[in-house]
Structures are given as C-alpha cells and as structure tokens.
Amino acid sequence: MTSPHQSSQGVDSLDQNSQGQDWQAQLTQRHHLYGGPICDGVIRQQASDFIVIENLDFEAFGSGEHDWLIIRKTNFNSQSVADYLARIANVARSAVSFAGMKDNRAVTTQAFTVWRPQGTKGASVDYAAKLPAEMEVLVQDKHNKKLKRGSHRSNTFKLRVENVPGEYESELGERLALIREKGVPNYFGAQRFGRAAQNLEQVSTMFRQGSKGISRPLKSILLSSARSYLFNELVSNRIAEKRFAKVEQGEWLNLQGTASVFVSTEEDAQRMVELDVHPTAPMWGKGVDKWRDKAPDQIAWEDQILEPFELFRDGLERFGLEYQRRPIRTKINELNWSFGPSETVGNQVCELEFTLQRGQFATSVLRELFNGIE
C-alpha cells in the first residue's frame, strides 16, 4: 500500500475535544474523482425535478397478514408516510415497514407493508381515502411478510437540473460519458449527516456522554452517520493518492451488484476496468482483526488514515456495530442524458436518468458535474 498521507480534512478531528467542529465545511472538502465540478446548476427547484422509483425483485404475494402498498409521495420522507399508515390502520408504528429511506424534497415511489393480522378476516382499510393528497396509493394488495430494510434491488433516478450554462453542454456530455464508463465515488450523501451535518455533532456527544434519553431510531441514525463519515474519509484519501480505481494485490474487493467480498489477485485488474469488481473500505465496527489477517497492508493503511478519529471508531465498536466492507466505487446503470432550453436566456436544462444499487446516492453523480452539490 502507498504510504498514507494526512487525512483529507487535515485535522485531528475527533478526539475528546471535538466540540465545535465545522462538520458542514468538512463534508464539502471530499475529493472529486474527475478534478471537480464543471459548472453551476440548480436542482430541486420543485419536487418533480428529483424523481426516485424504487425497484423490487418481487411483487405482492396476493394474500397474508400484511397490507401491501405502492405509494407515490411528494415532499414527504418515508418515515412520515409510515407514521400516517400506522395511524390510519390503527396499528403500532413498528407494524409498518419499508425497504429504503427515500428523499424528502422529491417525488418518490416505493412499497410499504402494514402488519394487520386482524385484517385477514375483517374489512380492508381504505388508505387512499385517508392519506394526504401528496401521498398517492398506486397499488394496494396483500402480502405474506413484512418488507425488510434493504430488500429492494435498486433505485431509478430522473433528475432535472436547471440554469446550466449553455456553453458547457459539450464538456458535460464528455464527463457523463466518462462517468458511464468509469463510475463515481460511492460517497454517502449529505442527507446521511442531517441538516447542516448536525448528526455528527450529536453522535460525538453521544459517544462522549452516553445514549441515555436518545430513542432507538435516533441512535441508529447517529451511528450510521458516524460510520458513513469514516467511510467517506477513506474514499477521499484514496482518490487523493490516485489509487481509487487501482487494484492492489491482497486487498478486499466487492463483486459488482452483490454483497460478496474477496481478496484480490493479479487476475482482477481487468475486472476492475470492466467495473465487475470494486475496491472496498470499511463500515466501521467491532471485529476488524478477522479481516486484517487476509489483507494486512490494506487494513494497516486504513488504520493510519483513521487514526485521528478514535472517538468515532471506539464509539462504534462500543455500541456493538459489526465491521463490514462497502465498495468505494459506484457503477452507474442505464445512464442517459439530454439538454433542452431553459427559461433563463443562455442557459439550458440537463435531464438525467440512471439507476443505482440500493444504498447509493444520486448526489455522488451530480457532485462530479455541478457546483454546490454534496
């Protein structure tokens, strides 16, 4: 492994004196793969500029104790919809499930299940009549099990970027072709860290003072933010060292489209070029030693990069999270784009459509193109 440099933030960020960190500024300092954005662009002027469609590998079973709903929602996040469904069905909030958290300021379509065992014998619930107009029931059926988190295959994004300077159309097209060929960094997007990155300050406090009084759902969100921060740090450093897409013998790789990981050999170099395999970085937790034995150089480099972040590393282990590996590169599937006239003279609209695996962020694509997107 290449000798490690200082972390991409250049600060001893997360020792016991981490109060007052400018987390928001740090998140914007992550390295870009292609040298930086090309031009300005405005996204989400209205919800319909950001459309997300969840893709499942299965349909409703047709019978069972769970109500199955496909809902298209505008300017509501998944948790809010689940709250509404629980109240309408008169069930506990824990009886409502969905596969993946979707954006708030967007038009998103996804599945929900509502466990209602009494409903197999009683009258059905008319969710469509009782939900707000911004939540449209597209399908209502029955299912035989709850939706598990992460059970969806992918998400399709249909995005509209306004006020794109017309003179950059050719350069943007070239960059998009490169992204289609080589992928983008698999960064966690800014939404993972809360408004103004406040989750990171809260999780720092929780690691120092304990979790008494913090609800289980919030605790889960905060722990996820800490893991994501460390992951992004490693991705950024690997780009800085110009090793992002280079396979180094004896490191953990991920097989595209799966959760499978394995240790690389010389034969994997061509598979890397073809986007069939990707380098990985840790989702931090306890149990690193069993991964270290098979890839000691890689883990040693990661340990050195993350040395300043002892508060997060120790906290994640103390709270019982298990160490895992995540690919550092995102393959963009079915990427298409077009340019059209804008209401602003001299500018254009860029329309993008692509599909990402679950857990990957559209902002990772947009930040390689347009300024001000994290």
Q: Give the integer Cα–Cα distance in Å for 219 and 316.
A: 11
Written as six digits, the tokens of 301 are 């480099």
Contacts of 310 (CB under 8 A, 6+ apart): 14, 15
Coil, helix or strand at residue 135: strand
Contact 360, 186 (CB under 8 A): yes
Q: What are phi and psi of 110, to 5 degrees?
A: -155, 170
What's the CA dihedral at 261, 266, 267, 269 to 10 degrees?
Answer: 80
Contact 328, 235 (CB under 8 A): yes
| Secondary element (H or E) of residue 374 | none
Q: What are phi and psi of 258, to 5 degrees?
A: -135, 175
For helices 310-318 and 198-209, what crossing angle results, to 10°? Answer: 70
- Taking the alpha carbons at both ends of the chain, their separation in whole angstroms is 29
Other C-beta atoms closer than 10 Å to the C-beta of 151 total 17
Q: Name the residue type at position 147.
A: L
Q: Is the dihedral of CA 149, 152, 154, 158 positive or negative?
A: negative
Contact 251, 295 (CB under 8 A): yes
Is residue 103 part of the annotated active site? The answer reads yes
Residues facing residue 217 across a β-bridge = none
Q: Which of 49, 67, 103, 268 is catalytic?
A: 103
Other C-beta atoms closer than 10 Å to the C-beta of 219 total 15
Written as six digits, the tokens of 133 are 């107009």
Q: What is the DSSP code (8-state) at residue 345?
A: T
| Residues annotated catalytic, as ranges | 103
